[in-house]
Amino acid sequence: MYHYVMLFSFFMGVSTSAVEPSDIHQFVKLCRDDAHVSCVRKGIGWLYNSKLKNSQKRIVYTYLSRAYLFLGKKDSAIATMKELVRLYPCMLSLSGNHQMSKFFIKVRREVLKKEGEPPVLSHIVPSPRNLLKNRKIFVKISDKFKIQKVTLFYRKSEMDAYRTTTFKKLKKTRYVAVIPKEILNHSKLIEYYIRASNCFERVALEGNPKEPIKLVLEGTTDSLRAVGGTVLLGLSAVLLIGSGLSFYVLVNELERAKSNPTAKQNEASQQRIFTYNVLAWTGLALSVTAGVVSVLLLLPPKKKTTSKKQISVAPPSDNMPHQLSKNKFFYKANFSF
């Protein structure tokens, strides 16, 4: 099609100035009045104009393709309509003339089969500790076409059906999904995979239904309790030693005060006795507190009885949702044929 652009632009001397809305309105009227040759000539000339806006290109491509069909140049009509599909890959239909809408859908289907690349996913598997803490799964997705949908599929075991939640866009290429709290509570394992699709219906997967990403959660909480308990037990021992030294120094200071009963020495001795007394008893209290907490952490937790109420799970389905929803991205043109 572009050789037509060069040819007409050479003979017509097309400028690179911006096209005004009034010019587009006249172009639409010209094409609707079945002046097909003039419609093609003006449309091709404008396509060579680098300052033509995308919204204006949409109108030009549509009416140019229509004019080619009326002139019997089906190949040129298809090539022009393909440019419209590439320009607006998320547009599902054309409003207006029924025949042109059918033609657009047919060409779009042909373009989707042959063109477009899948999104590129970048995902770092979270640690069991972080997943239990914030319940979030992050993924980065880069795609030159518009991302249509990003879905997280997850389950608690191989015997369960996958549940789904939709990723939310944070900024630019970063997305996040949150796993419900009731899924992670008391779970030994979590399996998941990520599915992203763009407007060209190209799909990218991180993991897959048969080989999902697996995270072992059993023992993660217990290990954290063990680490915390061990640290507190060590702290309790240090405080106990410090408290014992303070008591030892306190006893010596009391004996020294008895042997030196002068007023000046007794005043200084009383200050030291008070300080060592506070340090000794405070250290002892903190040591006992840390020791009790450490014992509670190191003891195995009591198993909670599970509720008889079960969460209803949708039956597994082999039909993966891979087609574009007809209710989304429906583009209504502001003109009709």
10-68 pLDDT tens trace:
444 445 678 888 989 999 999 989 899 999 999 998 887 667 888 889 999 999 999 99
How far is 296 from 299, CA to CA, in rounded Å?
5
Residues 97 and 15 in one domain: yes
Residue 306 pLDDT exceeds 60:
no
pLDDT confidence tier of residue 138, bands split at 50, 70 and 90 = very high
Tell which wins on pLDDT, 337 or 181. Answer: 181
Q: Give the pLDDT of residue 73.
A: 92
Which of 58, 79, 114 terminates a domain? The answer is 114
User: Which range is most confident: 13-27, 134-148, 189-203?
Assistant: 189-203
Residues 125 and 101 in one domain: no
Q: CB of 314 within 8 A of CB of 73? A: no
* 318 is a domain residue: no
How far is 310 from 308, CA to CA, in rounded Å?
6
How far is 14 from 167, CA to CA, in rounded Å?
47
Q: CB of 322 within 8 A of CB of 201? A: yes
Q: Give the pLDDT of residue 316.
A: 46
> Among all chains, which residue has been given the structure tokens 């393709």?
65
Q: CB of 116 within 8 A of CB of 200? A: yes
Q: Give the pLDDT of residue 285.
A: 87
Residues 256-284: what's their mean pLDDT? Answer: 76
Whole-prediction pTM: 0.54
- 179 half-sphere exposure, CB direction, 13 A CA radius: 28
Residues 228 and 257 in one domain: yes
264: containing domain = 221-298
Residues 99 and 37 in one domain: yes
Q: How many domains does the chain fold into?
A: 3
Q: What DSSP character marks residue 194?
A: E
* 172 is a domain residue: yes
Min mean pLDDT across 146-155, 221-230, 255-264, 327-336 is at 327-336
